[in-house]
Every structure is written in structure tokens, then in C-alpha cells.
Structure 1
Amino acid sequence: MTSRELLYVKTVTEEKSISRAAKKLFITQPSLSQSIQRIENSLGTKLFNRTPEGLVATYAGERYYQVACKILKIYDDFESDIKDINSMKKGQISIGITNHLGNIILPKILPEFKEQCPYVTLTVYEGSTDSQEVKLLSGELDFAILHAPKKDTSPLLNYEILANDPFIIAIDQNNPLVKSAKVMEGYTYPVLDLKLLKNEKFIMLHEDQRIRHIADSILAKAKIVPEIILTLKNYETAQSMAGKGIGITLLPEDYARLTSLESEPVFLSIEKKYTPGWDLCITTTNSSFLSHTDQYFLSLVRKYFSKEK
């Protein structure tokens, strides 16, 4: 029972004539007659009786007509839904993003997005980078905005790099090493030779956090095995403790600008030879299907946050 067969029976029932129905359907009368005959043969029953008033549906024909009307209406509604989704009038997006990136990115993106797509429902999952990657692979998210790993990337995930955010050193302003930092062109803050930190105590985030992965990578390149005296979940707390002289921490430059602390640490830049940074990226799976609405949202992310040329 195809949509074409449903339409043929529906039209013949309404027109009560093969010739009028054929004309309305833009097919030949013999072709329509043969089609109706095939449908009746496949069902094993007649759908129409010939009367002086024209073709009249049998009981089976009337039931076929009722079902055909319902199915064709569902099909038409579905086509309209797809058209609305493709034109971004409606739909749903499931997004993964870290808490901190959500604070940076969503306020910038959502006003413009909602103006263009007011009836699109957004579901935002805020969690760790690793948990977002798991949800992407399970199909729970359409895409995620996160920071790419330094290594061990999944072959099933695509990372579209948008920008690199350098990491910096947060250190107590009274630490003697502050005076060893030098102003250098191309750096936001005075640059400190990373190897001078080898005897310092460190405040680090937990090992399951991507900030920690990047910090470990930077220190490893300087051949520093850090003496960790405090492990935290919150980078703001780590930054605050660094300002109070508890220890030294490494954090992204953009994150340092987000906070205003009672005890502000001094920020120092790290030489580029240590590749001290992480990459903001759009993450999708190899098998991802991105709707027009998904693509529009991501175009806004690229518009405001891509620094790659």
C-alpha cells in the first residue's frame, strides 16, 4: 500500500469516475484503471461498484478511503514539519558545553539565535568534557562546544578548531619569581621561564578535568614533576588560593579575565615553545547529521569565537 495507491483510491472515491480522477491526477485513464485493478487483486476484494451515478465505493472501498485520508493527512503534516524544521521555524537542538564555556558563549549566541529561531527548543547539557564526549557517541547530543584533548582523541569524533587560548601562570604577587618575568612582544603578560617553577608548590585541578590535562602537558614539556599540595574542582578557587600564596596554578588566559578576587594573583605568560594552550572546538561524531538549525547555531559560534584564518 503505497502513498500513490492511497491517492488513487481516494481520488476515484471522491470523483466517482475513472476519467475525472485520471484528469485530476494527470495520468491516463487506462493507467488509472489498471492501477485500481491491481489494488483490488492484491486485496482480494472489489473497492468500487459501477452504478448509474458513477463508481460507488463498496464497504471495503469506503474503509480503504477512510484509512487513505488519515494516512495521507499524516504524510502531509510530516512533510510540513520537515519543511518547518529545514526553514528553522521549529525543531530541537541538544547541545553539550562546559559550565565555564556556557558562561562565555551562550550569552553571546542565544539572543541572535532566538531572534531568528524563536520556536526552536534548546536543551543544553552542562558537564565535564569527557562526559560530553560520551553523550555525543551515544547520540544524546547533536554537537558539543568544548576544548579539544591534547592526545588520545577518539577516531569517532571530529574536532573543528576555532581558537587557541593560551595558559598562564597565576602566582602570589609577593613571590620573588615575579621579578624574574620579562616583558616580551606578543605576550599579554610578562613572560616567566617555566623551568624556574621546578621547586614551587602547585595547586591543580582534578585529573578528570581538561584544564588539568593541559597543565600536566605544559609542565611535562618543561620537565617539571609538580609537587601538588592542593587539588580542586574549581579553577576560580585555585586562582584565589594562588593569590593568597598557597601555591602556583596554571589556567587559561580567558578564564583569568572572568573573575574578580579579593586576593588577585599576578598573571605571567608562558613561552610559546611549551605550546601552553588549549583549543576551543566544535565537536561532532563522524556520523552526525546536522539540521539547518544546528548549522545556523554553529555558524554563530564561528562568527563570534573563531580566530582561525
Structure 2
Amino acid sequence: MFKGMEYVYEVNKERSFSKAAQNLYISQPSLSATIKKIEERVGFPLFDRSTNPIQLTPCGQEYVKCIEKILDIQNGFENFLSNMNELRTGNIAIGGSNLFASYILPPIITDFREKFPLVSIHMVEANTALLEQQLFSGALDLVIDNYEFNENIYSRHKYCNENLLLAVPKKFEVNSKTINYQLTAHDIINNKHLDSSTPSVPLELFKDEPFLFLRSGNDTRKRAEKICQHHNFSPNVILKLDQLVTSYNLTCYGMGISFLSDTLIRYTKPDPNVIYYKLNEDSICRNVYFYTKKGKYFTRAMEEFLKMAIPKVNEDIT
């Protein structure tokens, strides 16, 4: 019944026979014929070919759910073998937003790869909502994020603290009124914004300026709204984005004001066209965690990766 299930799974993932065929290194006619044979064995069509892109039929949806259960069992056994073989085989799937995937994860993954060269590593870069969805489904083993996932479902392992700051295009006229509050990227790197003697800017001075916000479901978006509400104004949001790095780049080009983390400022190339400001709010402070799903088999590859990412994390692993 499930012979050839990988073909069905790939077509569903890509929503396209041609793309799936490329990924599977077979011809499209061959793939179509294989799917047709599987549908004949099942007795019902699995795909609705009248739509573009193609969609699963109700029967197809149940078939894919069964595939995912089979893959989960298969992955669980492979992970068990990986422990038995002292990481001479195995795999680990890690996810993060653009910021973490671009700057935080690469050196950790490189070190892990050098120590365990035979462990296959898969990295996913996506927004928080998709990362949590994939962590819940089992597609990802670990996710690094600054959003607080449900503690009843996920275990968390603290990576670092970070603080939000205001990033304003240098060309904005409002900066002429805030000279005493201005910070550079160099100041942030040297933790001047964490010094109690550094003044916080009155945010209401920027209430008439254009803002760049992240989309709903993002921790930075939630905190930014709360901060503006505390200062009794509704920001003029001209654009909503998926990634903090994108917001930063648009601020560098002078498009609008962003709420950015000091983590981003530390890791990205300083831009002379941006001025930073310290904010005086409880909600500017947050933690960055590695998340794992509770109840999921905690492989040795996951344990070793976390130990390498956070030397003290082994105290938190339960």
C-alpha cells in the first residue's frame, strides 16, 4: 500500500509533478506513471489534478498523514541507531529565522560538522510560525528563536539575552531633536546601551514618522506594539515584513524606523546611515532559546549540538 510513498510525499511537498521529478532525479512521465499505479492500488485518486497548483484529495490527505507517521517511526529508529553507533551515522534538523540562520547557526554547525562528519545536518530558514509548525510536526529537531513557545509543548534551552533598540534612518529630520540620545553601532557592540548612565530616548518624538513592523506572530512585532501603546501613540506602519534583517536593510536605505535587536546589530555590518536609540521599557529585554519538542526522542546528535552551542546547556537538558 505504501510502496513508493516517497514519490507521493515529494509531489505533495512541491505541489508540482515537474519539480518533484527534478528533486527525485526521474522523468516527469515516469513519476506520473508511478503515482497512477499507487492510486490504483489505493483505489482512489490522491491528487486533484484540476487545480493549479495540484492539491491533495481527502484520500490523499489521509495517505500523507500515514506517510508522516511512517517517516516519524523510521526517523525514530534511525536516531536510536545513531546513538548506538556513537554518532557514526544519524541526522539532525535545525531551524531559525534569517538572522539566526545567517549569523548564529553557521559557526556552530561548522564546529559540529568537524567533530561529527558523518551526521547529516539539515537547516531550515523560515519565519517563527513556520518554524514552530515544523518543530511540532517533527520535521525539525531544534529551533532557535526569541519568541516564547508554549512551555507545555516545548522544552527550552537558553542561548542568550538580547535587547530591542530603535533604529532610525540618519536622513530623518527628527534626529536633529535627539542628538543627546544617539548611539552608533560601535556603541551597541560595546554595550553602551546597557549602561545605566546612557539616557533612553522619548519614543513619542517619533510618533509622526514612518515605521517598519514585522508581521503578526513575531515577538518583535508584539513588543513593538506594546512599547508604542505605552507611549500613547499608534505608529504609522508603512510596511510589514517577515524578517528582522529585511527591516534593518530597509532602514539602512532610509525607508522607515525599525525595532531591532542588539544581536542583529552585533552581527551585521555597521551602516553609517542608521542612528540607534536606547529604549526604557521592560519589554525590550528578552531571551533567545533553542527549543525541542517534549516527548520527542532526544537523540545524542541533538544533545551534542546543544552542548556545543551552549556549553552549560547540558544542565538544562531533561
TM over 0.5: same fold? yes
Alpha-carbon distance in 2 for matches of 1:281, 1:197: 31
Is the alpha carbon distance of 1:229 and 1:304 closer, same or farther for their aligned partners in structure 2, counting shifts above 3 Å?
Answer: farther
Is the alpha carbon distance of 1:294 and 1:240 closer, same or farther for their aligned partners in structure 2, counting shifts above 3 Å?
Answer: closer
Q: Give structure 1 stretches of 5+ with no counterpart.
A: 1-77
Aligned to 1:132: 131
2:268 is the counterpart of 1:238: no
Aligned to 1:163: 160
Residues 182 and 190 of structure 1 are in contact (CA less than 8 Å); yes or no, is this contact kept in structure 2? no
Aligned to 2:219: 210
Cα displacement (A) at 1:98: 1.8
Is the alpha carbon distance of 1:235 and 1:145 closer, same or farther for their aligned partners in structure 2, counting shifts above 3 Å?
Answer: closer
Aligned to 1:176: 176
Letter in 2 for 1:160: H
What are the equivalent positions in structure 2 for 1:2-151 lying under 5 Å apart? 82=81, 85=84, 87-149=86-148
- Give RMSD over aligned pairs: 3.3
Aligned to 1:277: 285
Residues 86 and 293 of structure 1 are in contact (CA less than 8 Å); yes or no, is this contact kept in structure 2? no
Paired residues in the alignment total 226
Cα displacement (A) at 1:303: 2.9
Residues 182 and 191 of structure 1 are in contact (CA less than 8 Å); yes or no, is this contact kept in structure 2? no
Cα displacement (A) at 1:283: 0.8
Cα displacement (A) at 1:209: 3.5
Cα displacement (A) at 1:192: 1.0
Aligned to 2:202: 193
Aligned to 1:226: 235
* SS of corresponding position for 2:194: coil
Cα displacement (A) at 1:154: 5.9
- Can you list the C-alpha shifts for 1:85-131, whole angstroms capped at 9, x where unaligned? 45222111122222220112222212321222110111112211111
- Can you list the C-alpha shifts for 1:254-286, whole angstroms capped at 9, x where unaligned? 213444476621011112x33203321011122
Is the alpha carbon distance of 1:240 and 1:182 closer, same or farther for their aligned partners in structure 2, counting shifts above 3 Å?
Answer: closer
Cα displacement (A) at 1:305: 9.9
Q: Give structure 2 stretches of 5+ with no counterpart.
A: 1-76, 184-191
**What TM-score do the two structures reach when normalised by structure 1?**
0.62
Residues 85 and 293 of structure 1 are in contact (CA less than 8 Å); yes or no, is this contact kept in structure 2? no
* SS of corresponding position for 2:273: coil
Alpha-carbon distance in 2 for matches of 1:83, 1:263: 49
Aligned to 1:248: 257
* SS of corresponding position for 1:303: coil
Cα displacement (A) at 1:207: 2.3
Cα displacement (A) at 1:225: 1.9
* SS of corresponding position for 2:311: helix
Is the alpha carbon distance of 1:275 and 1:209 closer, same or farther for their aligned partners in structure 2, counting shifts above 3 Å?
Answer: closer
Provide the identity percentage.
23
Greater C-alpha radius of gyration: 1
